[in-house]
Amino acid sequence: MAVAAPIMTIEKVSKAFGGIHAVEECSFDVPPGLITGLIGPNGAGKTTVFNLITGFLRADGGSIRYKGEELLGLAPHQVEARGVVRTFQHLRLWAKMTVLENVLLGCRTPVGENVLTLFLRPGRVGAEEAAARERAMEVLRFFALAGRAHELAEDLAYPEQKLLSMARIFATDAEILLLDEPTSGLDTDSLQKIVPMVRRLVEHGKTVLLIEHNMELISQLSDEVVFLHQGRVMARGRAEQITRDPALTEIYFGV
């Protein structure tokens, strides 16, 4: 069992809305280079945890450290700059933009995005854009979407849209990828496309933290599992351990 230092630590993080404690004193570590699954019944607070990590919500208390740096209090784009990216359950692709453009938006193009350099350094802008396009096409090939590069994102089939949402965050070169329900809404055939893809991300040296609903897929997908219930961490450990625990299964399917 790898005893590498965790790449991300969530410590006693809490978030309440009105009287509802969505997340309460939640603490867990994310080991590097593995897939950690965040599981639990509906309303357990899993997406809230993602929102807290990525700065879309501000935690009431606690600490979220990534590679030693505190993420709490940062705006979402600042969190991304530190190397933490996420997908959304409802994808949030730029439907009216092309597949290539969706991925290009994930690539680093600071010279082209800065209005001053855009006009004063056209040479560098051109070179950067060309490099970004190549990188984007490479990413698309990795995800087997290269043939659809110039189609609108909204014209893709749902499984391919899910791949696209992963492709664009992959293009950011972030080291830790937060996947929000990467397998939801997919039939068995499409799952064959997605599940191996998630494994390949890790083979590329990424760390993955994913939210997963499907208990059966958990063992296939995750190495480590964190079980959340009513905003608290109920259990954590290897996937096989957790999925076989009858008490947890009851919580998951019960009530």
Residues 16-35 touching another protein, rule: CB under 8 A, are 17
Q: List 152's β-bridge partners, or say none.
A: 98
Residues 200-229 touching another protein, rule: CB under 8 A, are none
Q: CB–CB of 8/66 below 8 Å?
A: yes
Cβ proximity to another protein: between 165 and 243 the closer is 165
Residue the block writes with tokens 């290539």: 100
At its nearest, how many Å lie between another protein and the CB of residue 166?
A: 13
How far apart CA 84 and CA 67 sit, in angstroms, is 11
Q: Which of 135, 148, 162, 168 binds another protein (CB under 8 A)?
A: 168
At its nearest, how many Å lie between another protein and the CB of residue 54?
A: 7
Q: What is the CA radius of gyration of the chain?
A: 19
HSE toward the beta carbon, residue 176, CA cutoff 13 A: 25
Residues 46-65 touching another protein, rule: CB under 8 A, are 47, 51, 54, 56
Cβ proximity to another protein: between 25 and 101 the closer is 101
Instruction: Determine the length of the chain.
Output: 255
Q: Does residue 138 interact with another protein by CB under 8 A?
A: no
Q: Which two tokens stand for residue 247?
A: 């008490």
In the three-class reduction of DSSP (H, G, I as helix; E, B as strand; rest coil), residue 5 is classed as: coil
Residue the block writes with tokens 């937060």: 178
Residues 73-132 touching another protein, rule: CB under 8 A, are 75-77, 80-81, 85-86, 88, 90, 92-97, 101, 104-106, 109, 111-115, 118-119, 125, 128-129, 132
In the three-class reduction of DSSP (H, G, I as helix; E, B as strand; rest coil), residue 20 is classed as: strand
Alpha-carbon torsion (9, 13, 15, 21), positive or negative: positive
Cβ proximity to another protein: between 96 and 204 the closer is 96
Interacting residues with another protein (CB under 8 A): 17, 47, 51, 54, 56, 75-77, 80-81, 85-86, 88, 90, 92-97, 101, 104-106, 109, 111-115, 118-119, 125, 128-129, 132, 168-169, 172
